Each structure stands twice: as structure tokens, then as C-alpha cells.
Amino acid sequence: MDAKGCSVMSRQRFRRHFLWDAVQLRLLGLSVCYVVVVIAVVSGALFLPLMFQLDHLSLSTEEAQRVADQFELLHSRFWPAVFVVSVLLIVHGLFFSHRIAGPLYRFRKIFQSVASGDLTVRTSIRKRDYLHEEADCLGEMVGALREKIARIEAYHAEMAPQLDRLKQAAGRGAFREVEQEADRLYLTIEQLSQAMEPFRTKSGSEMKPGPAPRPTAAGL
């Protein structure tokens, strides 16, 4: 395997575990903010009463020494536990945010592919990711678009040979055959119009175009 292939595989492996997408960074930053707020509230609830108590006691009294010992003991036990819990929560937030940001990153790639006309994209996500229902809905949408476009392509493919037969019949002067081919072409156009009806490119307040005029032998 060349260096380029190794680089691509390493990026894919890194993205599988550490995406560092903008969404993931925001979610991770929000988790860190929550951790900081919880630490601030808990530390305030634990240390502020002791600090106020020390301020109101004489430093030479035995009670003041006892409160100071409690304050120092609490410091020695509280902050290591806070450090361990913070690391665990941040690591959990990293994996949690990745399971949300990963599918969103995949959805953006699918949207870009569909916008470029590629309807063969896979809409599946990893088993442990979140947003599986959204991925299923996205897959249904892409599948429905693929079926509708396939119908339009099929009717479009029928029109070319019909036009050729119509031109050949008109060249021979076979007006009866021209009329038959014109009827077949008009039927294909109607089917094509029906296949395109689900697509909306204008608002409901705008006028919709009327049906295509029916070709006749006299108009050829």
C-alpha cells in the first residue's frame, strides 16, 4: 500500500473515533461548561461555609485550628476526586458527542451527493451511533427520489425511438402511421408529466403550467 492509501486509511480511522467536527466541538464544549459549573457549585457549597467560619473565629483558638484542619483535609481529598471525575466526564462527552456528530457529518455528505445528482449513496450509520430513525427517514427519502427519477428516465428513454418512428412515418407520407405514433408520443408525455408531478419547484400561489399540447399530423 502506498503512502497516499495509508494516509486515507489513517484519516478514516481517526474520523471513526475522533471526528473533531464543528458540531462535536460545540457539544464537547457544552459538556465541559456543565462540568465546570457543577464543580464551581459543589466546591462553593463545601468550602465557603468553612471560609466564613474561619473569618469569624480567632486564629489562636482551638476551634479555628480544627476548622483549618478540616479545610486542608477537604482540599486534599476533593480536588483529586474532581480531577478524576472531570476526566471521565470529558471522555464520556467526547464519545457521546461523536455518536451525534458522526451521523450529522454523514448526513451532510449525503445531502451534498444528492444535490450533485448522485442517488446511489448509502444512508446507513454505525450501530452504536444515535439518530438511527433519522438515518432511516433519509434512506426512505433517497430511495423514493431514486424510484421517481428512474420512472422519469424510463419515459424519457421511450421518447427518442418514438420521435424517430414519427419522423420516418412523416418522411414516407404515411399519415395514418404518423397519427398513431403521435398518439403514442402524447401518451408518453402524459406519463412523464405524471411522474414529474410530485416534484415542486414553485410555491402553491404560482400558476402551474398547463398540459402539453397534443401533437397532430397536421402540425408536423
User: What does the domain layout of the chain look like in residue ranges?
Assistant: 16-100, 145-196
**Distances 46 to 39, 64, 82, 87 between C-alpha atoms, Å:** 10, 17, 13, 21
**Exposure string over 65-92, b if 16+ CB within 10 A, otherwise e:** eebeeebeeeeeeeeeeeeeeeeebeee
pLDDT given at position 215 = 53
| Of residues 98, 126, 102, the one with CA closest to residue 28 | 98
| Of residues 182, 165, 168, 164, the one with CA closest to residue 218 | 182
| Of residues 27, 19, 25, the one with CA closest to residue 109 | 19
User: In angstroms, rounded to a whole number, what is the distance separating the alpha carbons of residues 116 and 142?
Assistant: 13
User: In angstroms, rounded to a whole number, what is the distance separating the alpha carbons of residues 2 and 201?
Assistant: 47
Model confidence pTM above 0.75: no
Tens of pLDDT, residue by residue, the chain (220 residues): 555 544 544 555 555 555 667 788 888 888 889 889 999 999 888 888 877 777 766 656 777 777 778 878 888 888 888 899 889 988 888 888 888 888 888 899 999 999 998 988 888 888 888 999 999 999 999 999 999 999 999 988 888 888 888 888 888 888 888 888 889 889 988 988 888 888 877 766 554 555 555 555 445 4
pLDDT given at position 110 = 92
Supply the angle between the helices 175-196 and 132-172 in degrees, to the nearest 10.
Answer: 170
For residue 158 the three cell numbers come to 421511450
Q: Alpha carbon 116 to chain centroid distance?
A: 16
pLDDT given at position 2 = 54
Q: DSSP 3-state assignment of 59? A: coil
Contact 125, 172 (CB under 8 A): no
Contact 35, 89 (CB under 8 A): yes
User: In angstroms, rounded to a whole number, what is the distance separating the alpha carbons of residues 189 and 1?
Assistant: 52
User: In angstroms, rounded to a whole number, what is the distance separating the alpha carbons of residues 141 and 96?
Assistant: 27
